[in-house]
Amino acid sequence: MKKGSSYLQKPRIYPKTPKITNMDILDLVNYYANSEAYNGGRLVEACKVYENMIKEDATICLTLSGALTPTGLGGFINQLIKKGLIDFIISTGANLYHDLHFALDLPIYQGDFRADDTDLLKNGIVRIYDIFLPKETLLKTDEFVQKVVKGFLPDGTVSTACLHNYLGKQLLIKGKKPDYSIIATATKYDVPIFTPSPGDSSIGMNLALLKMSNNDVVIDTDLDVLESTAIVFNSKKTGAVELGGGAPKNFYMQTQPMLSQLINIDRGGHDYFIQITADAPHWGGLSGATPSEAISWKKIKSNKLKNNVVVYCDVTIAAPLLFSFILLKKYSRRLKRLYRKRAAFLDKLKYAYIKE
């Protein structure tokens, strides 16, 4: 290999003895940074990308797939919201439904994935892998949703952000432990929460049930598309921390093609992208695909590839490390309070579209 090759500009790798005594997350990330190899290295890159998003004051979206809130991950997310390090959220309905349990102080227990599910059924327990939920927790959560939504009387159709903000206000008033809830915390700090498939969860099921008794709260998912796009349109820089893939991931990513492909306002794509996933692209299941593939859709800026990273790891391992690193660095920003700006942002987007 020629001396001074452009491929050999990074530091050499040496075996490094970790600081075992009193090691914290910052020490651990620095240890990974010694080699930046494999997914330990990608985690270091994710920490740097998150730092760049904060320093550049990008509008940061958090996306949540599957059912991650039952693991207790909301504690990290709430701290990031309070410090202005998450500006809006796109989530599956399952995450939001299970988040309600914590605010209502309804129990979720550590379980075992090897349990006999037939026996669990007999004992009134439902299982999410190695997490156990008493059926009573679900029924009382359903009762809360039905009761408070009966008092939700919006003027016309609403976005899911509006619905979740209303639920958050009710949790702040009636919840026993609202500080445990992402929905309540997001409402308190004006962080909008969107759900791409509002009917695909127990919250959606409860809303559907109420229609049978003429309680007609109508969710307009078109408004979700427009409001999320308007947020991106009105932001100088944008980026996301995506936990898993699925509809929440693509719902965020599609805001850029919505602008460039349909509205004829070409922003070139998002500036930053972090994804933590255990999926692989070659099976067709890595929703929204890799950052490099997303460039062809103008979902990510082509000259910003170094500001994008995929960490192939279990979310429950990598996300706490990433979030702990950011919180230990004591970052904080002025709250963007995007929920209260939705209407004004959408008006600006409509004006830009008509002008085009």
- Catalytic residue annotation: 299
Tokens 């002008």 label which residue? 355
- What three-state secondary structure class fits 127? strand
CA distance to 5, 35, 88, per residue, from 294 (Å): 30, 28, 21
CB atoms within 10 A of CB 144: 21
At a CB cut-off of 8 Å and minimum separation 6, what does 35 contact? 13, 16, 41
Number of H helices, E strands in the chain: 15, 9
- CA separation for the pair 183, 164 (Å, rounded): 7
Judge residue 17's burial from the number of C-beta atoms within 10 Å of its C-beta, 0-12 exposed, 13-18 middle, 19 or more buried. exposed
- CA separation for the pair 76, 63 (Å, rounded): 14
CB atoms within 10 A of CB 350: 13
Q: Strand 193-194 vs strand 88-91: parallel, antiparallel, or unpaired?
A: parallel
Tokens 């929703």 label which residue? 287
At a CB cut-off of 8 Å and minimum separation 6, what does 350 contact? none
Q: Strand 272-277 vs strand 238-243: parallel, antiparallel, or unpaired?
A: parallel
Dihedral sign of CA atoms 44, 50, 54, 57 in order: positive
CA distance to 69, 111, 129, per residue, from 115 (Å): 21, 8, 10
- CA separation for the pair 286, 276 (Å, rounded): 11
- What three-state secondary structure class fits 221? helix
